[in-house]
């Protein structure tokens, strides 16, 4: 009964006593009892009963005008008045023939007829029964045409950066040289002799590729050493590397927020798409505060119960505007209202701070210049709970991380 109630809205909304009462109602010309009569009106059961009756007509099996399993008293039901011959022939019962015709008519109702127990499916949502094969190419062409018309179609430039002539590069023609001003390789570290020679030596010894995921066979001493170095850089107890910082932001925010019960994420209005994606994937409640507006952030924090876990997600260097995040002010609010902070330093690592740890380190430049790892001095970087960064910009290679 429980399984049936889950699938059938009529059974789900009817009490056992009501069903029992229907099963005891007198039979009609078309049904053995009231419950069977209701089943005949169902678009699912009605069709099934029609098929059963049609099969009986073809095989000459005696069938009553209702299905036995719909009634508690079905075991006592009298057999239908039909003559069954010992060979294939039509059933001679006029009552049965009339019943089948009635069921066939209900199985194919007139246009506009609807089941009283089930919401009508809009025509726009209905599955077409026949038609021409879907034209995928037409859709692709139409979408591409839209891109061309609104000037949003992207062409990839053929830029081949020259290792020995940074920041020079050649185009598709080797003799056609240009100067690249739009690279994320700000410092030319991808061409640094120490970096290049170290990569060559590593490739000669270990080959290219990890050989698998880290939890199977792709974790090595190089990964662990890199994570230790990143943790020291940001004065954090540990770090974790990813294939990119987009993945790092997405995975960290979504996973962390999901694990914190009833978590709320407060996000700067100009946060990067990777952070927005992570917040979306988390499925938790989000609150957007105006860009770099700590007064608005505090207004939102005041509306949240102190017992609710909160994450404030923001950046230091906002790539679309060039503004700098208010690290100290946001960390102060986080402490005041019991929130943790997630800071994206993607456009700052390698560029700011005495050791290249980013803006948070740069804010206390003198204190961080010769500071030991276990120093009791509390800097802006220490106040941030989680920092994300990239290895694909100022550091000149590939990958992302959190610390």
231-283 confidence digits (pLDDT tens): 999 999 999 999 999 999 999 999 999 999 999 999 999 999 999 999 999 99
Kindly report the pTM of this predicted structure.
Answer: 0.67
For residue 145, is pLDDT > 60? Answer: yes
Q: Kindly state the average pLDDT of the residues 83-87.
A: 44
Of the pLDDT bands very low, low, confident and very high (cuts 50, 70, 90), residue 94 is low
What pLDDT is stored for residue 399 in this prediction?
97
Residue-range domains of the chain with CATH: 2-125 (no CATH), 222-402 (3.40.640.10)
What average pLDDT does the chain have? 85
What lies within 8 Å, CB to CB, of 287 at 6+ separation is: 264, 265, 266, 267, 300
Half-sphere exposure of 74 (CA within 13 A, CB side): 18
393 is catalytic: yes
What is d(CA 294, CA 272) in angstroms, rounded to the nearest whole number? 18
What pLDDT is stored for residue 116 in this prediction?
54
Q: Kindly state the average pLDDT of the residues 142-171.
A: 95
pLDDT, tens only, 184-206: 999 999 999 999 999 999 999 99
Q: Where are the beta strands (DSSP E) in 281-399?
A: 285-289, 310-315, 339-344, 386-390
What pLDDT is stored for residue 244 in this prediction?
96
| Lowest-pLDDT range of 37-51, 256-270, 288-302 | 37-51
What pLDDT is stored for residue 114 in this prediction?
52
What is d(CA 301, CA 250) in angstroms, rounded to the nearest whole number? 23
pLDDT, tens only, 234-244: 999 999 999 99
CB atoms within 10 A of CB 402: 25
What pLDDT is stored for residue 105 in this prediction?
61
Of the pLDDT bands very low, low, confident and very high (cuts 50, 70, 90), residue 37 is confident
CA max distance for the chain? 105
What pLDDT is stored for residue 283 in this prediction?
97
| Lowest-pLDDT range of 7-21, 26-40, 179-193, 280-294 | 26-40
What pLDDT is stored for residue 69 in this prediction?
44
Among the listed residues 106, 236, 310, 393, the single catalytic one is: 393
For residue 27, is pLDDT > 70? Answer: no
* Rg of the Cα atoms in the chain: 36
């Amino acid at each position: 009964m429980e399984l049936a109630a889950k699938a059938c809205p009529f059974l789900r909304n009817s009490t056992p006593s009501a069903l029992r009462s229907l099963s005891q109602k007198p039979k009609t010309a078309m049904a053995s009892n009231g419950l069977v009569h209701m089943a005949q009106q169902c678009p699912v059961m009605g069709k099934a009963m029609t098929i059963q009756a049609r099969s009986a007509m073809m095989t000459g099996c005696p069938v009553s005008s209702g299905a036995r399993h719909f009634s508690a008293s079905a075991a006592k039901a009298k057999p239908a008045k039909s003559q069954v011959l010992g060979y294939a022939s039509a059933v001679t019962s006029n009552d049965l023939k009339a019943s089948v015709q009635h069921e066939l008519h209900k199985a194919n109702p007139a246009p506009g007829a609807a089941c009283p127990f089930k919401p009508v499916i809009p025509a726009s949502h209905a599955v077409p029964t026949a038609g021409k094969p879907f034209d995928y190419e037409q859709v692709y062409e139409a979408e591409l045409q839209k891109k061309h018309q609104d000037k949003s179609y992207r062409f990839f430039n053929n830029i081949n950066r020259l290792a020995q002539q940074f920041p020079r590069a050649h185009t598709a023609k080797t003799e056609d040289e240009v100067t690249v001003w739009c690279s994320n390789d700000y410092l030319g570290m991808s061409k640094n002799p120490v970096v290049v020679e170290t990569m060559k030596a590593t490739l000669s010894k270990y080959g290219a590729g990890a050989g698998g995921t880290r939890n199977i066979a792709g974790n090595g001493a190089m990964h662990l050493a890199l994570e230790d170095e990143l943790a020291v850089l940001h004065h954090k107890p540990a770090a974790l590397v990813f294939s990119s910082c987009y993945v790092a932001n997405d995975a960290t925010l979504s996973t962390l927020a999901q694990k914190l019960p009833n978590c709320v994420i407060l996000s700067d209005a100009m946060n990067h798409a990777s952070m927005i994606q992570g917040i979306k994937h988390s499925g938790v409640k989000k609150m957007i505060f105006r860009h770099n507006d700590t007064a608005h952030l505090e207004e939102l924090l005041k509306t949240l119960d102190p017992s609710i876990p909160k994450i404030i997600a923001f950046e230091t260097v906002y790539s679309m505007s060039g503004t700098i995040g208010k690290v100290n002010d946001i960390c102060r609010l986080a402490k005041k209202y019991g929130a943790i902070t997630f800071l994206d330093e993607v456009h700052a690592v390698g560029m700011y701070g005495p050791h290249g740890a980013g803006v948070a380190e740069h804010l206390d430049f003198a204190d961080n210049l010769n500071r030991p790892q276990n120093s009791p001095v509390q800097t802006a970087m220490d106040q941030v709970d989680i920092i994300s960064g990239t290895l694909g910009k100022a550091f000149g290679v590939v990958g992302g991380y959190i610390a």
